[in-house]
Amino acid sequence: MDDPFDLAGAEEPAPAPQPQSFPYLDSLNPPQRQAVETLEGAVLVLAGAGTGKTRVLTTRLVHLLNTGTARPWEVLAVTFTNKAAREMSDRVGQLIGNRVEGMWLGTFHAIGARILRRHAELLGLRSDFTILDDDDQQRLLKQLLEAEGIDPKRWPPRQLAGVIDGWKNKGLMPDRVPEGDSGFADGRGRDLYRMYQERLQTLNAVDFGDLLLLCIRLFQTAPDVLAEFQRRFRYILVDEYQDTNVAQYLWLRLLAQGAKNICCVGDDDQSIYGWRGAEVGNILKFESDFPGAKVIRLEQNYRSTAAVLKAASAVIANNEGRLGKTLWTDIPGGEKVTVIGVWDGEEEARTIGDEIESLHRKGERLSEMAILVRATFQMRSFEDRFIEIGVPYQVLGGVRFYQRQEIKDATCYLQIVAQPDNDIAFERIVNTPKRGLGDATVQMLHRAARGARQSLYRAAEALVETEELKPKARNTLKRLLDDFARWRQVKDDLDPAELAGMVLDESGYTEMWQRDKSPNAPTKLENLKEMVLAMEDHETLGAYLEHIALVQANDSSDDTEKVSIMTLHAAKGLEFDTVFLPGWEEEVFPHRRALEETGNAGLEEERRLAYVGITRARQRCFISHAANRRVFNEWRSGIPSRFVEELPADAVEVRAETGLYGASAQPGGAGSRQQSPGSFAYDAPWLQATQRLKERGYRAGGYARGKVIEGEAREVRTLENVRKFQKDERVFHQKFGYGLVARVDGNHLLIDFEKAGQKKVVAAFVDPA
DNA sequence: CGCTTGTTTGTTTTT
DNA sequence: CAAACAAGCG
């Protein structure tokens, strides 16, 4: 399953058998059935959350084959994530067996890579080109900036990468970028983009965006190649269509112009990749792009209880510019969504941990529980807590396995064995482990390489034959090159795992970590072992390298009894009986930068993310927010997310964390605040600061839909000015009691508490004694 | 010249 | 709390 792209069966002539009855159709509802049976022409399926989208997709695929309408190799099925591709492949495989093999089923990027490898020479690449990850990309851009005399401090490579990525997502080659676009480095962005592409070409490398962009160029410049693919892909299926960007859209449109049989499935309310160039507009334009297209709506939700669905619908209803669907369910009632307010991130982890244990004791399966966070940094507190109380868990996504330092290093060694001209990899490991080939030597290699217009590796080979290097460096370099030559000789006789073991040991890389006495060294060694183990699944080194370039390791869950922790983005397409949604605080969720960078559009995307989160739940949904959160080493106070207030009062139950704050929290509680009809609000003592803030107009204007965000951000800051405190002032704090202010630092106070000792706290939560 | 040590800096989401 | 970066040591 690692390589879903075998071309097996391409010449097989026999059409599939054509049974007369198709029992799988009987279990579909009428619109689902229509979506499955409308095989010809353009079809857009608007599938709300939990309406059986995956089922429709897989059944349709099966139906195409079973009716003899298409043979496996005539089908192109595209997804966004590897996880989705794998799931589709598995499910179709269960129904029709090995006929999946011949299908082109995979992510946009994986299929793009496959197309490019076949026709690389038409684009000035060799078919063994390397695919750079964003780390490599940024290194390369940094070199480029330095070479151009642009200060990487003032113009961060990271930002340039973002700009270039944006262009690529829009399908723009350097010559099509409008002059002076972007403003990067005083309008030099476009030139840098052009130079970057040239550099990639000489390196025989592509980045992620190129996997699509270069395909488009290929199709445009080689009509015969395009025609071949158009002939081949008679039936095209696209999952998560709402997340396509312009490049993907162009790519699809070119391919679909042949047979014009294209079926796209999507949900505008679940479009959460706008930051990656996704254009919800694509889904809105569908009917005009494919005249005569049939639009089918799936609105019956089979997943969630009425309560969960009601909460989700109420939140998403605050978005404008929706296609609009009315989801309904047969599943009656259900538990209300629980909203929990806690003091800080650690308490949040404790509370959720307790809840998980309690549910588990009642017989709920851990594998049916998930914690969905906005950003990966939120994961840590849960991991810490679960380790402490012994709850088994798994993290999906998160820090990417293949991007960890030690894995990346090891991979670079292997890449150079396979592709010596990979300069980026070479530079990374030439002095790792330290072997005395430092900056000066590398600079010399660079000069030699540039002079002779060849790769660093080849330049090194030439250089060790001369007297230019100092003897010590020369010998070391010679030894390294000899090592590589030796590994390269045996690479085809060993399987990848054996080769990796050999390279890691003989290069001294393993030894480097064995000697390292820092506390994380053992983990790194473990990871290396894990990597070697994983390589056993791959037939060739090339297959392994392709796999890690395109697939992130941690994206699939095993079925063991574990709680899952992942980002909201990673959770799309999944479902669980119980879902925990922590960190619903302004600035965390909706994320501050989403609002800053894209204003209302950003806010609406965040809201769709909230919608995705809630709709993952079948039975139970817990939403929590913390009053304080640790950011790096300082404490920041937060107020509940506006999304909390958008929850409908009658589908929500508020739980106060008793003990600390008393049990006074009630929906629509005793607070002086007015609440808008139908929305829900509550009081908890620690929310008093928030309360005060809101009474001063924060809520009235601040949460208004569509309002420009700057004003709001400034309002939030007034939280810090709730009350000024002086050094040595006597104060009272809800949790820690009485104390004396030892230091004032903006809104952060260092207080010597009489009972609790010295603590850093936020001024908003302290009252004068 | 290369390596160790301290300092600063910055975390959305992913193929 | 990391990793990237700058300054001093051998």
pLDDT digits (tens, 9 = 90+) for A141-187: 988 888 888 888 888 888 899 899 999 999 999 988 887 676 787 77
Quick check: A569 CB within 7 A of strand B? yes
Are A657 and A342 contacting, i.e. CB atoms less than 8 angstroms apart? yes
Tell me how many degrees the CA angle A422-A424-A428 measures, rounded to the nearest 5.
120
- Determine whether the distance from the CB of A632 to the nearest atom of strand C is below 7 Å: yes
Maximum C-alpha span of chain A: 88
A113 with A82: CB under 8 angstroms? Answer: no
Residue A554 has pLDDT above 80, yes or no: no
Closest nucleotide relative to residue A594's CA, C1' based: B12
Mean pLDDT of A673-684: 38
Query: Residue with structure tokens 């080659």?
Result: A173
- What is the token pair recorded at A525? 């060694």
Distance CA A318, CA A608 (A): 10
**Separation CA A418–CA A362 (nearest Å):** 54
- pLDDT confidence tier of residue A224, bands split at 50, 70 and 90: very high
DSSP E strands, A535-672:
563-567, 576-581, 617-631, 634-637, 652-656
H or E element at residue A200: helix A189-203
How far apart are the C-alpha atoms of A57 and A51, rounded to whole Å?
A: 12
Please report, rounded to whole angstroms, the spatial distance between the CA atom of protein residue A205 and the C1' atom of nucleotide B8: 33
Q: What integer is the mean pLDDT of A56-80?
A: 92
Rounded CA–C1' distance between A551 and B15, in angstroms: 8
Determine whether the distance from the CB of A56 to the nearest atom of strand B is below 7 Å. Answer: no
Kindly tell me if the per-residue pLDDT of A275 is higher than 80. yes
In this structure, is the CB of residue A275 within 7 Å of any atom belonging to strand B? yes
Supply the mean pLDDT for chain A. 82
Evaluate the omega torsion of the peptide bond into residue A433 and state whether it is cis, within 30 degrees of 0.
yes
Residue with tokens 């990067």: A184
pLDDT confidence bin for A359, thresholds 50/70/90: very high
For residue A573, pLDDT beyond 70: yes
> Could you identify the residue whose CA is nearest to the C1' atom of nucleotide B2?
A438
Please tell me whether residue A537 adopts helix, strand or coil conformation.
coil
Query: Which bases of chain B come closer than 7 Å to a protein CB?
Result: 1-4, 9-15
Query: Residue A705: pLDDT band by 50, 70, 90 thresholds?
Result: very low
Q: How much is the pLDDT for A656?
A: 63
pLDDT at A745: 61
* pLDDT tens column, A621-674: 999 999 888 887 778 888 889 999 999 988 898 886 533 333 333 333 333 233
Beta bridge partners of A563: A393
Q: State residue A151 phi and psi, 5-degree precision.
A: -70, 115
| Closest nucleotide to A85: CA versus each C1' | B15
Is A267 or A769 the better-scoring residue by pLDDT?
A: A267
The answer for residues whose C-beta is within 8 angstroms of residue A321's C-beta and 6 or more apart is: A280, A604
pLDDT exceeds 50 at position A269: yes
- Distance (Å) of CA A34 to CA A37, A57, A63: 5, 12, 12
Average pLDDT of the residues in A367-384: 92
Spatial separation of the C-alpha atoms in residues A437 and A430, rounded to whole Å: 7
Q: Calculate mean pLDDT across residues A86-92.
A: 89
pLDDT tens for each residue of A560-570 = 889 999 999 99
Report residue A667 CA to chain centroid gap: 35
What pLDDT is attached to residue A352? 94
| C-beta atoms surrounding A678 within 10 Å | 10
Distance A273 CA to B1 C1' (A): 48
Nucleotides of strand C lying closer than 7 angstroms to a protein CB: 1, 3-6
What pLDDT, on a 0 to 100 scale, did the predictor assign at position A398? 67
Which residues of A are marked as active site?
Answer: 53-54, 239-240, 270, 616
| pLDDT tens-digit readout, A646-657 | 999 888 988 865
Q: Which nucleotide is nearest to A209 (CA to C1')?
A: B15
Strand B contact at CB of residue A383, distance < 7 A:
no
Q: Which long-range contacts (CB under 8 A, 24 or more apart) does A747-755 make?
A: A747/A637, A747/A719, A747/A720, A747/A721, A748/A634, A748/A635, A749/A725
Tell me the sheet residues that pair with A731.
A739, A768
DSSP A687: G
The answer to whether A432 CB is within 7 Å of strand B is: no
**From CA A644, how far away is CA A588, in angstroms rounded?**
13
Tokens representing residue A236 in the block: 């095209």
Q: Is the pLDDT of residue A12 over 70?
A: no
**From CA A132, how far away is CA A117, in angstroms rounded?**
15
Adjacent-strand bridge partners of A44: A264, A295
Taking only the tens place, the pLDDT of each residue in A236-261 is 999 999 999 999 999 999 999 888 89
Q: Which nucleotide is nearest to A405 (CA to C1')?
A: C3
| Strand C contact at CB of residue A518, distance < 7 A | no
CA of A143 vs C1' of C10, distance in Å? Answer: 30
d(CA A574, CA A613): 10
* Residue A709 scores a pLDDT above 50: no
- Give nearest nucleotide to A106 (CA–C1'): B15
Which pLDDT value is given to residue A229?
Answer: 95
Handedness of CA A262, A263, A267, A272 (dihedral sign): negative
Most confident of A17-21, A285-289, A305-309, A726-730: A305-309
A241 CB contact with strand B at below 7 Å: no
Q: Closest nt to A152 (CA→C1')?
A: C5
| Separation in Å: B13 C1' and A588 CA | 12
Q: What is the pLDDT of residue A684?
A: 42
The gap between A454 CA and B15 C1' (Å) is: 30
Q: Are A550 and A592 in contact (CB under 8 A)?
A: no
Span A26-32, average pLDDT: 92
CA of A367 to C1' of C8 (A): 53
Q: Which nucleotide is nearest to A571 (CA to C1')?
A: B13
Q: Is the CB of A473 under 7 A from strand B?
A: yes
Cα–Cα distance measured from residue A564 to residue A367, given in angstroms and rounded to the nearest whole number: 7
Q: Does position A491 have pLDDT exceeding 80, yes or no?
A: yes
Comparing C-alpha atoms, which of A565, A591, A588, A590 is closest to residue A576?
A565
Stretch A5-30: mean pLDDT: 62
Q: Which residues of A401-422 are buried (b: 16+ CB within 10 A; e: fewer)?
A: bbebebbbbbbbbbbbbbbbbb
Among A581, A585, A603, smallest CA distance to A594 is for A603
The DSSP secondary structure of A51-64, one letter per residue, reads SSHHHHHHHHHHHH
Q: Which two tokens stand for residue A338?
A: 């629980």
Residue A13, preceding bond cis, omega within 30 degrees?
Answer: no
What confidence tier does A702 reach under pLDDT thresholds 50, 70, 90?
very low
Residue A405 CA to B7 C1' — how many Å? 22
CB A731 within 8 A of CB A767: yes
pLDDT band at residue A676 under the 50/70/90 scheme: very low
Confidence label for A355 from pLDDT (cuts 50, 70 and 90): very high
Q: Is the pLDDT of residue A114 over 90?
A: yes
Residue the block writes with tokens 């130079």:
A195
A197 touches strand B (CB under 7 A): no
Average pLDDT score over residue span A680-690: 42
**Per-residue model confidence (pLDDT) at position A20:** 62
What's the confidence (pLDDT) of residue A678? 39
Tokens of residue A537, six digits:
């699944």
Q: Is A571 in a helix, a strand, or coil?
A: helix
> What pairs with residue A628 in β-bridges?
A344, A637
Residue A634, pLDDT score: 76
| Euclidean distance between CA atoms A705 and A708, whole angstroms | 9
Pick from A556, A625, A547: which is nearest to A585 by CA? A625
* Closest nucleotide over all strands to A433 (CA to C1'): B3
Task: Measure A474 CA to B1 C1' (Å).
Answer: 14
Q: Looking at residue A326, what is its pLDDT?
A: 83
Look up tokens 């010399």; give the residue. A444
pLDDT in tens, A412-448: 999 999 988 888 888 888 888 888 888 888 888 888 8
**What's the distance, Cα to Cα, between the start and end of chain A in Å?**
66
For chain A, counts of helices (H) and of strands (E): 29, 23
Helix/strand/coil (H/E/C) assignment for every residue in A344-383: EHHHHHHHHHHHHHHHHHCCCCHHHEEEEECCHHHHHHHH
Give yes or no for CB of A69 within 7 Å of strand B: no
In angstroms, what CA-CA distances link A609 with A273, A312, A603, A717? 10, 10, 10, 25
| Strand B lies under 7 A from the Cβ of residue A439 | yes
> What is the tens place of the pLDDT at every residue in A521-552?
887 888 888 888 888 888 889 888 888 888 77
Q: Would you say the C-beta of A704 is within 7 Å of strand B?
A: no
CA of A395 to C1' of B13 (A): 16
A405 touches strand C (CB under 7 A): yes
pLDDT at A761: 61
CA of A161 to C1' of B5 (A): 32
Give the length of chain A. Answer: 769
* Residue whose structure tokens are 């009062």: A649
Cβ atoms of A48 and A203 closer than 8 Å: no
What 3-state class would DSSP assign to A739? strand
Q: Which of A263-267, A357-361, A713-717 has the lowest mean pLDDT?
A: A713-717
Res. A233 pLDDT band, cuts 50 70 90 = very high
Give residue A308's pLDDT: 94
Question: For residue A447, what are its two tokens?
Answer: 């000069």
Half-sphere exposure of A386 (CA within 13 A, CB side): 20
Percent of chain A with pLDDT over 90: 39
Instruction: Specify whether the CB–CB gap between A486 and A505 falls below 8 A.
Output: no
Q: What mean pLDDT do residues A286-299 have?
A: 90
**Whether A552 CB is under 7 Å from strand B:** yes
* Three-state secondary-structure class, residue A293: coil
CB of A395 lies under 7 Å from some atom of strand B:
no
Q: Which residue is nearest to nucleotide C5 (CA to C1')?
A: A153
> Which backbone phi and psi does A581 adopt, to 5 degrees?
-120, 90
Strand ranges (DSSP E) for A55-136? Answer: 75-79, 104-107, 130-131
Å: A351 CA to B10 C1': 30
Distance CA A423, CA A449 (A): 10
- Is the CB of A523 less than 7 A from some atom of nucleic acid strand C? no
* Nucleotide with C1' nearest the A520 CA: C2
Tell me the CA distances in angstroms from A192 to A186, A274, A425, one per residue in order: 11, 25, 22
Q: Say which nucleotide is closest to residue A275, CA to C1' distance.
A: B13
pTM of the shown model: 0.81
Q: Give me the mean pLDDT over the A455-466 stretch.
A: 89
Strand B reaches within 7 A of the A218 CB: no
The residue-averaged pLDDT of A261-265 equals 94
Structure tokens at A507: 């290069």
The residue to which tokens 């709680």 are assigned: A563
Length A520 CA → C2 C1' (Å): 12
Protein residue closest via CA to C1' of C1:
A632
Whether A438 sits with its Cβ under 7 A from any strand B atom: the answer reads yes
